[in-house]
Amino acid sequence: MKLKSIPFVCIAGALLAASAAVGVYLAFLSPGEPAARGGPAVMRRISEAQYRRSIADIFGADIKIAGRFEPEARREGLLAVGSSKVGLSATGFEQYYNLARDISTQVVDEQHRSLLPCKPQALNAPDDACTLTVLRRFGLPLLRRPPTEARLAELVEIAHKTTEEHQDFYAGLKMALVGILASPDFLFRVDLAGAGQDRPEQISLDDYSKATRLSFFLWNATPDAELLAAAARGDLERRSGLTAQVDRLLASPRLEDGVRAFFSDFLGFDEFDHLEKDGAIYPAFSPKVAQDAKEQTLKTIADLLVARRGDYRELFTNHDTFLTRRLGMIYGVPVDSRTGWDRFRFPADDPRGGLLEQVSFTALHSHPGRSSPTLRGKAIRELLLCQTVPAPPNNVNFAVVQDTNNPNFKTARDRLTAHRTEPTCAGCHRIMDPSGLALENFDGAGQFRPTENGTAIDTSGELDGQKFADAAGLGRALHDDPLAAACLVGSVYRYAVGRLVAPGERDWMTWLTKSFTSDGCRLPDLMRRIALSRAFYAVSGTPRGTQSAAVVPGTGSEEKRE
């Protein structure tokens, strides 16, 4: 291993002696790219999806993972940011521990043991060399860095003793694997700082942390063998080595996994886990429809942004999508395939086109038994434009807005207009309603409806001064809104680093957004630019090991850990 992880406090000391600290970042900068000082290192709990992917990649996709996972937490708009805040409850550890036992049992069972890198000399006796070989093989990708020799020795000893107890080599091996699968450095991705031989004064992630951050960002997966080998060789310290790995990951079909994972987080798709629709009011809707709706959007995104390398903004106007027969029932269009997905293009003049008109948006941001222009408008503001809508006052009277049987206010627009006469409500509803009302042609399940209570629905509105007549116009307004692109860029970066953008990164973020839009808003290009940047790996702020340690000049306190 070329690099050795060292506590930040040591690096901080080194940097105190290197007053030109900021200058070191210039080495990797692209033309015109401002220097960014990075943000604090983070420790992120791996998500359920990442856990499952890691096990499948390392032990095989047929390993069953039948268990519960600790709930994730959304912070500052993203689960990815929440992952660097959450701990692990007693219930959660118990669940992960039981998963570790179940997985280890399968890994050594007769069906899978042939996949292990060695066979014991005898089935009923310890074979420390074979145990060590297995632990080295799996410990590296599971922990995303080589386990220490001391730790391996402990685990081998446990395996040895268990084998003696049971007269079964594989019982011992299983016990040792539990020691890795239940460990904190598997369940958490811990950023470690390193200093390269070429630039010992530089504060940034060590090579294995770089590999981990890179792989989870681009693939939502643990680093593969090739990336780990590159980390071991120190390739990621060099521009050419890093570029080779980034381009390899971007060229892989697994990039789609990474893009899907980002958008699942960005669009709040975890809400699908508890989405309910009233069966009497929306008989066509079901949990399977909900899952299909989520998948429809992810397939559409992957097709447009990854396969076709399209412009992100076209998501709001794009009429090409994929449908199942179940979804066809909701959209009211024929779908040939009985069980699978059909590529489908809505006609150019069809109101159902872009992301906003998809069931994953209209149904997710509705009540169980009715649509909600306010929830939809709020989602547009908060999810897609990264704006904050204040919470409503506590004693708000919704009597008018919610009474769908009031003969004087037949449509949601009528009711919301009446509601906006309340001065305390008007401010926020002016922000949310004009965009949300444009989607009123879609009921709470996402089904098209031209009228409500026998009255034609008026879908006109405006978004930050841009007026439109219908949902398609809203899509075009969002397409043209520079905030939409800026929101995506900021969200991708926060997702990638698992924290807020630090003040010392603001110029860099401005440059990143400008580069994104001037290059046609291509998501893979944005991901590449981030993955190759100094900012992505730079670390500033809290020194390791102690809060009272010296602060690095020019890099401290951009973002205090909470």
Partner 1 sequence: MTGKISRRRVLRGTLQGMAVAVGMPLLDCLLNDNGTAFAGTGRPLPVRFGTWFWGLGYTPSRWVPQKIGADYDLQPELRYIEPYKHQINILSGFDVKLDGKPNTAHYAGTFGFRTGTAADEPDRSLLPTFDVTIADAIGNDTRFKSLEVASTGNNTDSYSRRTVNDVNPGEGSPVQFYTRVFGPDFRDPNAADFKPDPDVMLRLSVLSSIKDQRQSLVQEVGSNDRARLDQYFTSLRQVEQQLQLQLQKPPAAEACRVAGQPKEAPIGYEVGNVLANHKLFAELMAMALACNQTRVFNVVYSDSRSQLHKPGSTAIHHQYTHEEPIDKDLGYQIESAWFVERSMEAWTTFVGALAALKEGDGTLLDHTFVLAHSDTSFAKTHLVQALPVMTAGSASGRIKTGIHIAGNGEPVTRIALTAQQVMGLSVERWGGGSMDTNQPLTEMLA
Q: Is 453 in the site for partner 1 (CB under 8 A)?
A: no
The contact pattern for partner 1, residues 264-303, with x = CB under 8 A and - = no contact, is: ---------xx-x-xxxx----------------------
Q: Is 114 in the site for partner 1 (CB under 8 A)?
A: no
Structure tokens belonging to residue 473: 């116009």
Residue 354: C-alpha distances to residues 308, 435, 503, 521 (Å):
16, 14, 34, 17
Task: Name the one range near partner 1 by CB under 8 A: 161-169, 420-428, 483-491, 502-510.
Answer: 161-169
Number of residues binding to partner 1, judged by CB under 8 A: 77
Closer residue to partner 1 (CB): 132 or 236: 132
Residue 472: C-alpha distances to residues 302, 345, 363, 450, 512 (Å):
21, 15, 17, 15, 29
Closer residue to partner 1 (CB): 145 or 479: 145
Task: Name the one range near partner 1 by CB under 8 A: 251-259, 301-309, 367-375, 448-456.
Answer: 367-375
Q: Is 178 in the site for partner 1 (CB under 8 A)?
A: yes
Contact residue for partner 1 among 403, 482, 506, 507 (CB under 8 A): 403
Residue 276: C-alpha distances to residues 272, 357, 367, 459 (Å):
8, 19, 8, 26
**Interatomic CA distance for residues 20 and 30, integer angstroms:** 20
Closer residue to partner 1 (CB): 22 or 171: 171
Q: Is 156 in the site for partner 1 (CB under 8 A)?
A: yes
Q: Is 66 in the site for partner 1 (CB under 8 A)?
A: no
88: Cβ contacts below 8 Å, ≥ 6 apart: 45, 70, 96, 187
The tally of CA atoms less than 13 A away on the side-chain side of residue 98 is: 11
Q: Is 61 in the site for partner 1 (CB under 8 A)?
A: no
Q: Is 448 in the site for partner 1 (CB under 8 A)?
A: no
- Helix (H) or strand (E) segment spanning residue 502: none
Within positions 373 to 392, which residues make up the interface with partner 1, using CB under 8 A? 391-392
Q: Where are the alpha helices (DSSP H) in 389-470?
A: 399-402, 412-419, 423-436
Q: Is 146 in the site for partner 1 (CB under 8 A)?
A: no
Minimum separation from the CB atom of position 418 to partner 1 (A): 13
Contact residue for partner 1 among 183, 220, 222, 555 (CB under 8 A): 183
Closer residue to partner 1 (CB): 85 or 529: 85
**Interatomic CA distance for residues 159 and 562, integer angstroms:** 40
Structure tokens belonging to residue 412: 């949601």
- Identify the CA nearest to 259 among candidates 537, 483, 527: 527
Structure tokens belonging to residue 88: 């692990």
Structure tokens belonging to residue 305: 């942004």
Contact residue for partner 1 among 22, 88, 284, 383 (CB under 8 A): 88
Phi, psi values for residue 515, rounded to 5° = -65, -40
Q: Is 542 in the site for partner 1 (CB under 8 A)?
A: yes
Contact residue for partner 1 among 92, 234, 241, 554 (CB under 8 A): 92
| Eight-state DSSP code of residue 344 | E
Minimum separation from the CB atom of position 562 to partner 1 (A): 6
Within positions 35 to 54, which residues make up the interface with partner 1, using CB under 8 A? 40-43
**Interatomic CA distance for residues 117 and 134, integer angstroms:** 6
Minimum separation from the CB atom of position 156 to partner 1 (A): 5
Closer residue to partner 1 (CB): 160 or 260: 160
Closer residue to partner 1 (CB): 97 or 341: 97
286: Cβ contacts below 8 Å, ≥ 6 apart: 326
Phi, psi values for residue 146, rounded to 5° = -65, 135
| Torsion of Cα atoms, 22 then 25 then 29 then 32, to 10° | -10
Q: Where are the alpha helices (DSSP H) in 167-254?
A: 169-181, 184-187, 207-219, 225-233, 239-251
Contact residue for partner 1 among 20, 27, 68, 347 (CB under 8 A): 68
Q: Is 102 in the site for partner 1 (CB under 8 A)?
A: no
Q: Is 396 in the site for partner 1 (CB under 8 A)?
A: yes
Closer residue to partner 1 (CB): 251 or 550: 550
Minimum separation from the CB atom of position 136 to partner 1 (A): 12
Q: Is 60 in the site for partner 1 (CB under 8 A)?
A: no
Minimum separation from the CB atom of position 50 to partner 1 (A): 17
The tally of CA atoms less than 13 A away on the side-chain side of residue 112 is: 18
Phi, psi values for residue 44, rounded to 5° = -115, 130
Structure tokens belonging to residue 155: 């685990």
**Interatomic CA distance for residues 60 and 53, integer angstroms:** 10
Q: Is 540 in the site for partner 1 (CB under 8 A)?
A: no
Amino acid at 341: W
Q: Is 449 in the site for partner 1 (CB under 8 A)?
A: no
Within positions 190 to 229, which residues make up the interface with partner 1, using CB under 8 A? 190, 192
H helix and E strand count, the chain: 23, 10
Minimum separation from the CB atom of position 191 to partner 1 (A): 8
**Interatomic CA distance for residues 191 and 143, integer angstroms:** 12
Amino acid at 268: G
Closer residue to partner 1 (CB): 11 or 478: 11
Minimum separation from the CB atom of position 374 to partner 1 (A): 12
Contact residue for partner 1 among 29, 34, 56, 97 (CB under 8 A): 97
Contact residue for partner 1 among 48, 102, 128, 342 (CB under 8 A): 128
Minimum separation from the CB atom of position 287 to partner 1 (A): 9
Closer residue to partner 1 (CB): 41 or 355: 41
Within positions 346 to 365, which residues make up the interface with partner 1, using CB under 8 A? none
**Interatomic CA distance for residues 259 and 561, integer angstroms:** 28
